[in-house]
Amino acid sequence: MKNMSLATQIFIALILAIASGFLLQGNAAIANEYIKPFGTIFLNLLKFIVVPIVLFSIMSGIITLKDIRKVGVIGAKTVIYYLATTFFAIAIGIAGGWLFHDIFPVLSTSDIAYQAKATPSFMSVIVNIFPSNFLAPISSASMLQVIVMALLMGFSIILVGKEDSPAERIIHSFNEVFMKCMELILKLSPYGVFCLLCPVVAVNGPAVIGSLAMVLLAAYLCYAAHMFIVYSLILRIFGVMNPLDFFRGHMPAMIFSFSSASSVGTLPINMSGCRRMGASKEVTSFVLPLGATINMDGTAIYQGVCAIFIASCYGIDLSLGQMATIAATATLASIGTAGVPGAGMVMLAMVLLSVGLPVDGIALVAGVDRIFDMGRTVVNITGDAVCALLVSKSERR
């Protein structure tokens, strides 16, 4: 075990988790009661470390760049990449849903009900990015607010202008300490993967084989198309690296995001993976936390596929204009989605409402949301990793 790489250990944990999940089918209560809590402990540890990591790594990244203009250039490249790939993602999601819509099963929609949680309005999403208190964003782990804090403080340290000031040294050394702490926690990830995934397989196994198989298949085909076509092409066209090498190096993060369904929880593993594949420290520490918060290609795909699925279950034909509206709102919804399990489904309500589809339809897919979620989280974090490698490469040039 000691000599095996972490990636191999995580992979073995994945296989064991699926096998034992199948064995425990019918006894899902056991998995939920005795295995899942250990997965929760591991996720808790990740959540504990993620806020200081984001805060200190972004600050330390900015200070290392020493130049506000340079930060602006990296920021602009990152945001353009994020918007462009999300556009492709939603196009693939809608096209995939549309191709499948004839073979989607007609489910009974007469007795379903879903109480949508209030989805925030666009303006309130924007207002909520800015913190009104120094400690609240940290204690409530509001990632966007933490990012704004880190940017403001990082810029201020540069502007104060003293080389090697105590503030700089403190930030760098805290950054190192939290990174070390993260490394320790990551050593537990094979156990975390096992304990998170086994109960999911035990509980959901039969449902996946049931009538929802077609939408799940449509979503997963679109996820795969986006990952293996769009991302591979980006890696190739911009000469970043061989896509096969990329997917090999990125495997631990993919497996982990698949079992945890949390982009934010996967952030530490994704950061260390990207660093190993050659992304620079400054870029990784800036691009990945931002991506884990706002770049959700998988979530956009899922929202496209599910909106079309729900429409076809209700016998509603969507017009081209409605599909364009779905694309626009799904882009916004994916930006507003938090990188935690299940967040994308809450935002699906916003997409459905935008074209007047019944929000109750969410109940049709809610039962297997976790299965959708695992796949969409893999796509979400893969998009971030490709961006980190791409921007690193362009900065080096």
193, exposed or middle or buried, with CB in 10 Å at 0-12, 13-18, 19+? buried
Regarding 339 and contact with ligand ASP (CB under 6 A), the answer is yes
Residues 6+ apart with CB under 8 A from 234: 85, 240, 386, 390
What does the block give as tokens for 258? 């698949």
The single residue among 168, 297, 373, 384 that binds ligand ASP, judged by CB under 6 A, is 373
Closest distance of CB 304 from ligand ASP, Å? 13
| Residue of minimal Cβ distance to ligand ASP | 344
Residue (313 or 343) nearer to ligand ASP, CB: 343
For residue 344, CA distances in Å to 107, 127, 222, 332, 357 come to 22, 20, 16, 12, 17
| Residue entry with tokens 């800036």 | 286
Alpha-helical (H) ranges within 261-342 are 263-276, 281-294, 297-313, 320-336
Number of residues that bind ligand ASP (CB under 6 A): 16
Work out which of 36, 226, 250, 376 binds ligand ASP, going by CB under 6 A: 376
Tell me whether residue 119 or residue 299 sits nearer to ligand ASP (CB atom): 299
**Piece in contact with ligand ASP (CB under 6 A), picked from 220-228, 229-237, 313-321, 339-347:** 339-347
Q: Of the two residues 376 and 393, which places its CB atom closer to ligand ASP in the complex?
A: 376
The CA distances from residue 379 to 6, 88, 314, 385, in Å, are 21, 13, 29, 10
Terminal CA-CA length for the chain? 40
User: Considering the rule CB under 6 A, would residue 268 count as an interface residue with ligand ASP?
Assistant: no
Distance (Å, whole) CA 368 – CA 208: 7
- Tell me: does residue 377 bind ligand ASP (CB under 6 A): yes
| Number of residues in the chain | 397
For 192, the token pair is 């975390």
Residue 46 touching ligand ASP (CB under 6 A): no
- Least Å distance, CB 257 to ligand ASP, is 7
* Angle ∠(63,67,71) on CA atoms, nearest 5: 80
Residue 66 falls in which region: left (phi positive, over 0), alpha (psi -120 to 50) or beta: left
Query: Is 341 one of the binding residues for ligand ASP (CB under 6 A)?
Result: yes
Binding part of the chain for ligand ASP, among 137-145, 203-211, 269-277, 342-350 by CB under 6 A, reads: 342-350
Site string for ligand ASP, 215-254 (x = CB under 6 A): ----------------------------------------
Contacting range for ligand ASP; rule: CB under 6 A; set: 174-182, 186-194, 236-244, 376-384: 376-384
- Which one of residues 299, 322, 329, 382 is an interface residue with ligand ASP (CB under 6 A)? 299
Nearer to ligand ASP, 190 or 265 (CB): 265
Residues that bind ligand ASP (CB under 6 A): 261-263, 296, 299, 337, 339-344, 373, 376-377, 380
